[in-house]
Structure 1
């Protein structure tokens, strides 16, 4: 039986979610593409050899419940959950003093509360897999809150930064709660990615396929690998659990476990 991965936010051919789906498909995963617009997800799923499309709105509990039921009934397990969907970035906002609080609420709903609810609903299927992986697509912009780092443009996106900081916290608490299981939970920052060719961002950002490799690395970590960290590609950026230290580097073969002391390893 091939492994199955569910990816949220896969509605655009140029998007990170579809790039992740392509890479997993190349590793013989059955990929479940989800989006609020089912027709767009279906169009992308048709371009892959083994894929399913589902309507999933992270602000609509009924669609999340239906998706979880479909996974359980159709596959009996889920090997990978990638929480990729994200709300629009509020780069036009100069600071938290000017933040549009409804935009903050929307970001929290889609980036944090939705993934949290979806993870809970899919947990029985994740536990049914031999060694499931949960990957939350995050951002180093969250570090301006936890570390006070000057991150330039991201300082102008308080809703986005606040939501991603909360997502990092969620990653840590989920990893801690699942520490006595084979399930690994990590967050990955894909970096600045060219996902909007109509805006001409190819000149300032790397291709989505390149950014997707770090997400796939975390989704396919071997048993005993790290859990509870925020990674950029395969480099540790932030410890989300006590005892974390860098365990991998950009030049490592992503198919091999990183050497050295783990940030928190699961026993299997």
Structure 2
């Protein structure tokens, strides 16, 4: 699997030369903001690996991207399944030898009717953290040796404004009006903390790690939640893509939205 082919990645010792394009992996890249991130990264000239739990959904998303001229390839990846994470890392290592951009986009909202303090369902809380926090750590750890082989890797963790303690505790900010919950919001706050720790550790290697707040976008993720979602998925994706394409002297260990830094 190199930039001139559309088939599956090669295996064994007969490997292609290293690709000239930057190689990007987008988890949960088959729909919503993830699909838009994949599309926009491809328009920036990158080879895009579309991570998806469901092979059919991943293949469909890749077909759409290729129809638009993208160099895109499906990758089966469930961020809660260590076996698929390891397999994905092995495929990238065999096909490319490195990873230049990792966008940890896969996430879940959890059951919104079972997150309120006093009524919280612990299975919902655990499942949300399993995907939104532990899944990001698991994928990043597996991909780290590949990122370290890049000349200047970028890691973007898709967070949320609801993960901002500064905004949610500000009585003048609309985020303070969001109903209290013990799963989704806290999981994004934890993800922000994880982002800072990776940034501290990987900065000396030239790897920039940041969290992105796409804003409330009209996707399957927000539909049915009762929350206003005035932004398009493409608008939300642009925040992450900007962070994925930062120059060598770009920011690291930050939390950014469309208008710049977001309060922690």
Given candidates 197, 201, 217, the residue that maps to 1:173 is: 197
Tell me how far apart the structure 1 counterparts of residues 177 and 121 of structure 2 sit (CA, whole Å): 17
* 1:35 Cα deviation from its structure 2 partner: 1.1
Flag the 1:56–1:180 CA change in 2: closer, same or farther, 3 A: same
The correspondence of residues 1-268 of structure 1 with structure 2, limited to 5 A, is: 1-12=20-31, 15-48=32-65, 49-93=70-114, 95-144=116-165, 148-150=169-171, 151-152=175-176, 154-196=178-220, 199=223, 204-238=229-263
Over the residues paired in the alignment, what is the CA RMSD in angstroms?
Answer: 2.3
TM-score, normalization: structure 1?
0.82
1:222-242 per-position Cα deviation (integer Å, ceiling 9, x unaligned)? 011110011112510135xxx
Flag the 1:152–1:198 CA change in 2: closer, same or farther, 3 A: closer
Flag the 1:17–1:56 CA change in 2: closer, same or farther, 3 A: same
Structure 2: 5+ residue stretches without partners: 1-19
Tell me how far apart the structure 1 counterparts of residues 87 and 182 of structure 2 sit (CA, whole Å): 33
Which region of structure 1 is more displaced relative to structure 2, 201-210 or 50-59?
201-210
* 1:120 Cα deviation from its structure 2 partner: 0.8
State the secondary structure of the residue aligned to 2:38. helix
Tell me how far apart the structure 2 counterparts of residues 184 and 197 of structure 1 sit (CA, whole Å): 27
1:59-89 per-position Cα deviation (integer Å, ceiling 9, x unaligned)? 1100000001111111111110000011134
TM-score, normalization: structure 2?
0.83
Flag the 1:108–1:51 CA change in 2: closer, same or farther, 3 A: same
Structure 1: 5+ residue stretches without partners: 240-268
Which region of structure 1 is more displaced relative to structure 2, 203-212 or 33-42?
203-212
